[in-house]
């Protein structure tokens, strides 16, 4: 608990035995429940997470987004925090991000990794790809973001009732931000350090980049269809 708010931390994992121990060992004491969603790991990820006190949920259907959506279903706290299992995000800064959430009167705070404090944390082609996708996101939906693909968030659990989250893939990172912004929820970004991952990456930059761009245009069509339907119903 932190400042009278209960907190869950959700961590999606696929073969992160090399990183999950470090991540869990750095979790601040204010976290009430740590939920590790094991997405079919073939290594010791689940066993390590369980031995360190995390609640391990098995999600057989593959996908980053699917893992998060499953993890959210198990949260019963006031606030939900997220991070990856590869050690790239600063879980020790969760209290600072919650402070910012409360000070700003926000419902959603997303970590902003740019400018990078450690240039080795992200290859230049991924930095470029992130900036392009974030620019397209902002232009397509008329919003302001500096890091559209960040995976470290702090938000009130109650807002999940307002958001339509359908993505089972990497694009959930964009979807949850777009849904929050387009529903007019108070949204802020908070600068965070980003460090090199521990272990092998599962991210194929070209395929994920194309997936994310395709998702943006699909979601725009869905959102416009929703607006037109709402207008007709009125």
- For residue range 64-122, what is the model confidence (pLDDT) as tens digits? 999 999 999 999 999 999 999 999 999 999 999 999 999 999 999 999 999 999 999 99
Burial of 232 (0-12, 13-18, 19+ CB in 10 A): exposed
* Domain extent at residue 211: 7-233
Task: Kindly report the pTM of this predicted structure.
Answer: 0.91
> Is 116 inside a domain boundary?
yes
> Is 115 inside a domain boundary?
yes
> Is 221 inside a domain boundary?
yes
Average pLDDT, the chain: 91
Give the whole-angstrom CA distance, residue 95 versus residue 16: 24
> Is 2 inside a domain boundary?
no
> Is 55 inside a domain boundary?
yes
Give the whole-angstrom CA distance, residue 189 versus residue 100: 9
> Is 160 inside a domain boundary?
yes
Q: What percent of the chain has pLDDT over 70?
A: 88
**pLDDT over 60 at 228, yes or no:** no
Number of domains in the chain: 1
91: domain CATH number is 3.90.550.10
Report the candidate in 81, 79, 92 with the shortest Cα–Cα distance to residue 193. Answer: 92
């Amino acid at each position: 608990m932190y400042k009278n708010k209960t907190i869950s931390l959700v961590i999606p994992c696929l073969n992160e035995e090399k990183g999950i121990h470090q991540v869990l060992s750095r979790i601040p004491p204010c976290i009430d429940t740590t939920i590790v969603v094991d997405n079919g790991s073939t290594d010791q990820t689940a066993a390590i997470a369980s031995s360190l006190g995390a609640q391990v949920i098995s999600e057989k259907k593959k996908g980053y987004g699917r893992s998060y959506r499953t993890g959210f279903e198990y949260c019963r706290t006031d606030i939900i925090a997220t991070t990856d299992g590869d050690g790239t995000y600063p879980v020790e800064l969760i209290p600072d991000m919650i402070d910012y959430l409360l000070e700003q009167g926000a419902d959603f705070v997303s970590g902003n990794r740019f400018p990078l404090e450690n240039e080795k944390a992200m290859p230049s082609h991924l930095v470029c790809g992130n900036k392009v996708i974030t620019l397209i996101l902002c232009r397509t939906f008329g919003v302001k973001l500096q890091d559209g693909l960040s995976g470290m968030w702090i938000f009130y659990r109650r807002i999940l009732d307002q958001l339509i989250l359908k993505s089972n893939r990497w694009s959930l990172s964009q979807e949850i931000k777009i849904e929050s912004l387009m529903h007019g929820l108070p949204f802020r970004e908070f600068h965070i350090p980003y460090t090199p991952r521990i272990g092998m990456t599962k991210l194929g930059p070209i395929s994920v980049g194309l997936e994310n761009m395709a998702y943006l245009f699909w979601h725009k069509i869905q959102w416009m269809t929703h607006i037109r339907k709402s207008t007709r119903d009125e």
